[in-house]
Amino acid sequence: MVVQSAAEAITYPAVGAELDIEGVSHAFDIDGATLPVLDNVSLAIAPGEFVALLGPSGCGKSTLLRLVAGLERPRAGVLREDETRITGPHPSRVVVFQDPTLFPWRSVWDNVALGLEAQGILKTQRHRVDDAIDLVGLSSFRNAYPHQLSGGMAQRVALARALVNDPKILVLDEPLGKLDSLTRIAMQSEIVALWQRKGFTTLLVTHDVEEALVLANRVIVLSDRPARIKADIAVQRPYPRHRGDPYLAELRKQILGLLGLEATW
Amino acid sequence: MSTYSVSDAAAAPAPRAAVTLSNLSGSYGIGLAASLAWLAFGLSCLYWPDVGDWSRTDSLGIGAIVIAAFVLFGTFGADYLGGPGEALRKRAPWLVALGALFTLWEVATAKFAWLPLPFFPPPQSILEVYTDDLPKLLDSVFASVKLQLGGYIIGATIGFVTGVSIGWSQKAGYWIHPVLRFIGPLPATAWLPIAFFSFPSSWSASTFLIALATGFPVTVLTWSGVASVSSAYYDVARTLGAKPSFLVLKVAIPAALPHVFVGLFMGLGSSFAVLVVAEMIGVKAGLGWYLQWAQGWAAYANMYAALIVMSLLCSGAITLLFRTRDRLLVWQKGVVKW
């Protein structure tokens, strides 16, 4: 991979959409009690940006992603994709979940074809499915069933299933959380490569500080539940990034401090 | 742990080599025994005189000897016969057992009448039923299959659609669930008296009862299948642009299919029971009716003959269902082989 200059790394191709989160609050009703999860979160994400959401476990990161995906409506506030209000799910905003959630009754090819099939355009667009499978390097597994795949392969299929729709915003909900550390490192660079190639806006939820710093060019640190934005940190480093980079190490220390874990440093 | 794997590795090839060696002598030995057992059966038919008057004793004896000859040639020619030879080799132990059993049966009934006679007919009298009463038996088979198939398909279809609608729609669940709880657990045969006078024909009444017996388990299991589909699947499909019809047809139903097949299997079992009872009581055709008719004439050989046919049909139906399931659910791991 060619090392890009810092200037190149922050200019984005125009494929990605702008995402605008404005004064969003959300809560759940559990056993009659109201549990606030998001408290007046505002965030403007430029087209093609790679934003990581970091926060303590259970702080509402995933809820924010569900709102972005349109799977739920916020109790207050507005979310907009390219000036259009988000009112429901749309294939331009695809989510990759922590579990690959492949459909076990469908082969790899049929799983990847899911989005095009659901939108009724599969018949004319079959080549896109093949392309997406090639993109994640699983061409020889297109007829395999999910139970025949390893965890990393399954997550690659999930990634292909998302990318086949040419999303403007790719929403990643701890997609590498359950993978072993080697597969994880390999897939981190794959995700960066795909993002650089395709130029979609990326929103990544993770609780791995290092992962956030290696992947994103902006890290949002959230507070405990109900989540508020605690810090908005720009990571001005070209890709591919090195885990041992002292600049990243310094940021990591700072972020762990924000999360109340400075003692572990 | 390591000792286990070491001994495992060392032990594994040894029996394999031993099996191939013993296979040569062993499978020929078993094949020979099978041939001899059938020869014994044939000779037992021909050697002693019958204690009763049966017309097929000689044909049965000759038939058994022909089978013995086939088994013999099959055993020694197995290497040149390919698939059928291999099949014969696999079934040889069963052929030994069957030959011995038939011999014993022949001797205990037709030859020395150790078993009380009209109730335990000899093999040749059952063969006689298959040859002399074939048209009537075939008519009965046809009638049973027609009735069963019609009722089962109606019941399974209605059960499936009902199950999906309860599982999917809360409103459907609100109305159907209480009805299902009230009527479902009732054995379908309890409806027999009402069904037979409220339906225009005994055929339509029986179809209704079979459909009812099939429908309940199919409904309940389809419902539980649809209800237990993980919401994550719906989330994925929705973010990919799926409409509600896609969620039902391409997510809920395929995910529920393993449950549906359990329901279809249970429905098949309970509908067989209803079929036989309905035929015994109201319908004037079918194997159940044939059994009843044979009992009226104290024709025990006919009853056994009909029972054998019935068992083959029921088992065949279940085999067909399981084959269909295996084909549709190849994506599942470790399904039970019937």
**pLDDT tens by residue, B20-56:** 545 555 668 888 999 999 999 999 889 988 888 888 8
Distance CA A157, CA A114 (A): 11
The answer to whether the Cβ–Cβ distance between A89 and B233 falls below 8 Å is: no
**A8 band by pLDDT with thresholds 50, 70 and 90:** very low
State how far the Cα of B303 lies from the Cα of B310, in Å rounded to an integer: 10
Amino acid at B11: A
Q: Are B191 and B249 in contact, with CB atoms under 8 Å apart?
A: no
Residue spans of alpha helices (H) in chain B: 2-11, 13-47, 57-76, 78-81, 83-106, 123-132, 134-168, 170-183, 192-198, 202-227, 231-239, 244-246, 253-281, 287-296, 300-328
What pLDDT is recorded for position B333?
Answer: 65
B314: three-class secondary structure by DSSP: helix
Q: What percent of chain B has pLDDT over 90?
A: 41
Is B230–A117 a contact, with Cβ atoms under 8 angstroms apart? Answer: no
Residue in A93, A101, A117 nearest the CB of B233: A101
Taking contacts as CB-CB distances below 8 angstroms, the residues of chain A near B242 are 114, 118
For residue A73 the two structure tokens come to 């409506």
- The model's confidence at residue A196, banded by pLDDT at 50, 70 and 90, is confident
Q: How far is B335 from chain A (nearest CA, A)?
A: 14
Report cis status (omega within 30 of 0) of the bond before B187. Answer: no
Q: Output the pLDDT for position B22.
A: 52
pLDDT value, residue B1: 39
The answer to whether the CB atoms of A114 and B233 lie below 8 A apart is no
Which pLDDT belongs to residue B150? 94
- Contact call for residues B250 and B195 (beta carbons, < 8 A): no
Q: What is the pLDDT of residue B52?
A: 82
Candidates A91, A105, A119; nearest CB to B331: A105
Q: Which of A149-158, A227-236, B19-28 has the highest mean pLDDT?
A: A149-158
The region that residue A35 occupies, defined by phi over 0 for left and psi between -120 and 50 for alpha, beta otherwise, is: beta
What residue of B is the nearest CA neighbor of A108?
B331
The domain ranges of chain B are 2-114, 134-328
**Interface contact flag, A97 B235, Cβ < 8 Å:** yes
Position B154 confidence tier, pLDDT thresholds 50, 70, 90: very high
* R_g over Cα of chain B: 27
Assess contact for A67 and A26: CB atoms under 8 A.
yes
Are A101 and B236 a contacting pair at CB < 8 A? Answer: yes
User: Which of B230, B233, B238, B239 has the highest number of chain A CBs within 10 A, making it the mutation to test binding with A?
Assistant: B239
pLDDT over 70 at A54, yes or no: yes
Q: Which of B240, B243, B254 sits opposite A105 (nearest CB)?
A: B254
Backbone phi, psi, residue B195, to 5°:
-60, -40
What pLDDT, on the 0 to 100 scale, is given for residue A206?
A: 87
Q: Determine, for residues B232 and A93 on separate chains, whether the beta-carbon distance falls below 8 Å.
A: no
Looking at A56-163, which runs of residues are DSSP E strands?
76-81, 84-85, 93-96
Other C-beta atoms closer than 10 Å to the C-beta of B273 total 14
Give the ipTM. Answer: 0.84
SS3 content of chain B, % helix, strand, coil (to 5): 85, 0, 15
Q: How far apart are CA B94 and CA B30, in angstroms?
A: 10
Banded pLDDT at B16 (limits 50, 70, 90): very low
Are B239 and A105 in contact (CB < 8 Å)?
no
Domains of chain A, CATH where assigned: 1-10+48-92+168-265 (3.40.50.300), 102-166 (no CATH)
pLDDT of residue B249: 92
Which residue of chain A comes nearest to B253, CA vs CA? A105
**Joined tokens for residue A47:** 């087209």
Interchain proximity A71–B239, CB inside 8 Å: yes
Q: For residue B135, give every residue at least 6 positions away whose Cβ sits within 8 Å of its Cβ, in sequence order, or none.
A: none
pLDDT reported for residue B212: 92
**In A, residues 114-173, which contact B (CB 8 Å cutoff)?**
114-115, 117-119, 145-147, 161, 165
Give buried/exposed letters for A9-22 (b at 16+ CB in 10 A, else e).
Answer: beebeeebbbbbbe
pLDDT of B212-254, one tens digit each? 999 999 999 999 999 999 999 999 999 898 889 999 999 999 9
Between A105, A118, A146, which is nearest B237 by CB? A118
Average pLDDT for chain B: 86
pLDDT of residue A109: 93
Does the beta-carbon distance from B255 to A105 stay under 8 Å?
Answer: yes
CB pair distance less than 8 Å for B239 and A101:
no
Tell me the pLDDT tens digit for each residue of B65-82: 999 999 998 888 877 888
CA distance A116 to chain B (A): 8
CA separation for the pair A90, A225 (Å, rounded): 28
What whole-number distance in Å separates Cα of residue B54 and Cα of residue A41? 94
Strand partners, A34: A29
Q: Which residue of B has its CA nearest to A98?
A: B232
Average pLDDT over residues B297-310: 89
Class of domain B134-328: mainly alpha
Helix (H) or strand (E) holding A219: strand A218-222
What does the pLDDT read at residue A209? 87
Confidence at residue B338, expressed as pLDDT on a 0 to 100 scale? 56
Query: Strands A76-81 and A50-54: what pairing?
Result: unpaired
Query: Could you report the per-residue pLDDT of A175-184, keeping only the tens digit for each?
Result: 888 888 888 8
